[in-house]
Chains A and B, each alone.
Chain A
Amino acid sequence: MDINTLIAQFISGLSVAMLLFLVSSGLTLIFGVVNVLNFAHGSFYLLGTYFTYQLMQMFDNFWVGLLVGVVGAGIVGIVVEVAFLRRIYGREQEGAFQLLMTYAFILIIDDIVKFIWGPEYKTIPKPESLMGSLTIGDTVVPIYNVFIIVVGLLVVLFAWYFLTKTDKGKVVRASSLDRAMLGLLGTNVPMIMTLVFGVATAMGGLAGILAAPLRTVTPGAGIEVIIDSLIVVVIGGFGNFWGALLGALIIGEVLSFGILWMPELATVLTFIVMIIVLIVKPEGLLSKKTVGRR
């Protein structure tokens, strides 16, 4: 195995990691700010993809589809939060009911997608400007993978700037620490929760759209991605934005190199990583808060 293969594999792992990061950062934001484990996050990934597919059928332009897909996923997310999730906040044993409600949304949204677009495979071609590949030294890297990595890094940079440098970002961080206090200080907390939910689901949609040209588009795609993202979030720490980045990098590379060395057990490897993290440091790699009872 030569060094070029390793580098190529590393870069493909990075693009997988960035896609995972886009999904799981939304998942972790929702958990941190809204305090909901959005099990249906993969369904928004799915919706984004299919909205884009539909738009591309009509206009044959990837970028228009991307825009509409992202906005569409975000809007559906806001509707779900306002119309349904909001009603069960603060209920006794809230966690179980959230799990059930978001699970119900998986069943509903996935079936609606299947109903509208059919169960068969769909393809979304890469935009023409991003076809072809780059040659760095002796390593050949598809341009589209580089594009995904760049988009992921841009999101990371923007999120870093927004969360740490702006007042709005400060409010979002505050709402994950003490919602009641923030409300007393005159902030419209429910509004923030709704907006965060919308932005996070839009990011899920973005991930789905970016991933679509690399994978096949099927109604089952959302479920595959949610399990991987949950692993990422658990590894990084629930509600920890930078943890999601670290977790995504770990899982992206584990998947990428796992396929190289043990193609049989690559998916099993990710669960093993998660189990080890949960046993050694249950609160996640980057979280300080201690959980558990001992």
Chain B
Amino acid sequence: MHYIHLVARVIIFSLYAVAFNLMYGTTGLVSFGHALFYGVGAYITGMLVKATSPEYFLLFVILGAAGAAFISIFIGLLTLRLTGVYFTMLTLAFAQLAWGLTFKLYHFTGGDDGIQGIERPAMLVGGPTKYYIFSFIVVTICMYILWRVRRSPFGSVLNCARQNPQRITFLGLNVYKNQLKAFIISAFFAGAAGGLYAGLDGSIHPDMLHWPTSGNAILMATIGGMGTFFGPVVGAGILTGLEEIVGKYTEYWSFSIGVVVLVVVLLFPRGVLGIRRAAGNKNKEEKETEVVCNS
């Protein structure tokens, strides 16, 4: 029982991390505000279930994701004008702003307490296994779409924009517009992950929008390997596993995560999935991009 719940968590976090990595790994822009989209997805889904009935749960998850994507249009328009650390800080500011508002708008969002008792549709009631299979299917579909996006010409453009933004401009493509599209897609799927998580736990709380949630996305993507598609999945597994295993013995599990991150940053900057490749060797995707970028 407990382990199925754990696996479901890893699956949902995987979607969140892979969606985040569409920005981080592909465009190279570090968003420190993805908790905003994750949280908005969760709150929209949760509040719609609360307001109506849980029968249309899947529809609400999609609506939550759409809501996150809608917000990301405005945030993206403003934040993507900046690059580097300024982009990171501005995304952080928006997410913290949303977090603060969620906290203060007590009668609307439940403030500190969040919202409890989010029910699942009748079909998925009874044991976590059903919900686990449901989220597995949804996540797989989302992952497939994200995979196609990353392998598409659009994905190559994003990769190029990281490595050689000038060339993209010379080719007559707009870096800003393409990155904005990536930002919106990334926000959509982060929102979907949030919605799924609301159903898994049956509750939502403002911490889902707080900056450690944004930080977790960066941690998962980097630990697993930001240059690979499935790296963040591995990262999600490692992070959740550490929290679970170390958390069983001591409350100081974030110490262990800190140490793992330190080791990864110092010794395996390409992440766990990048270990096998010797430094300097490039994987297939990187090679292809290089060909596209330099031809």
Contact = CB atoms under 8 A, between A and B. Distances in A.
B261 A101 contact: yes
A274 B257 CA distance: 30
A87 interface: yes
A95 B85 contact: yes
Given A271-B93, A271-B97, A278-B86, A100 B81 contact: no
Given A100-B265, A103-B215, A282 B258 contact: no
A100 B218 contact: yes
Which of A107, A112, A265, A278 lies at the interface centre, i.e. has the most chain B CB atoms within 10 A of its CB?
A107
Contacts of A265: 100, 104
A289 B113 CA distance: 44
A37 B82 contact: no
A166 to B, nearest CB: 29
Contacts of B100: 265, 267-268, 271
A260 B284 CA distance: 59
A24 to B, nearest CB: 13
A271 B218 CA distance: 22
Q: Is the interface of B mostly helix, strand, loop or mixed?
A: helix
A292 B93 contact: no
A108 B104 contact: no
Which of B32, B93, B254 lies at the interface centre, i.e. has the most chain A CB atoms within 10 A of its CB?
B93
A265 to B, nearest CB: 6
Interface in B88-114: 88-90, 92-94, 96-97, 100-101, 104
Contact of A104 (B78, B82, B176, B258): B258
A115 B253 CA distance: 11
B82 A282 contact: yes
Contacts, number: 121
Contacts of A110: 254
B222 interface: yes
A279 interface: yes
A111 B24 CA distance: 28
Contact of A278 (B90, B219, B264): B90
A234 interface: yes
A177 B132 CA distance: 55
Interface residues of B, number: 42
Contacts of B94: 271, 275
A99 B175 CA distance: 24
Contacts of A115: 252, 255
A42 to B, nearest CB: 12
B83 A99 contact: no
Interface string A254-284: 0000000000110110011011001100110
Q: Is the interface of A mostly helix, strand, loop or mixed?
A: helix
Contacts of B247: none
B258 A111 contact: yes
B262 interface: yes
Interface in A280-294: 282-283, 291-294
A158 to B, nearest CB: 28
Nearest to A37: B85
Contacts of B121: none
A292 B90 CA distance: 12
Interface string B13-39: 000000000001000101010000000
Contact of B93 (A99, A278, A291, A294): A278
B269 interface: yes
Contacts of B176: 293-294
B20 to A, nearest CB: 12
B211 interface: yes
A108 B258 CA distance: 5
A107 B88 contact: no
A282 B83 CA distance: 10
Given A99-B218, A275-B90, A108 B85 contact: no
Contact of A96 (B30, B81, B211, B257): B30
A95 B261 contact: no
Interface of B: 24, 28, 30, 32, 78, 81-86, 88-90, 92-94, 96-97, 100-101, 104, 175-176, 211, 215, 218-219, 222, 226, 252, 254-255, 257-259, 261-262, 264-266, 269
Across chains A and B, which 4 residue pairs bring their CB atoms closest together, nearest first? A107-B258, A111-B255, A108-B258, A104-B261
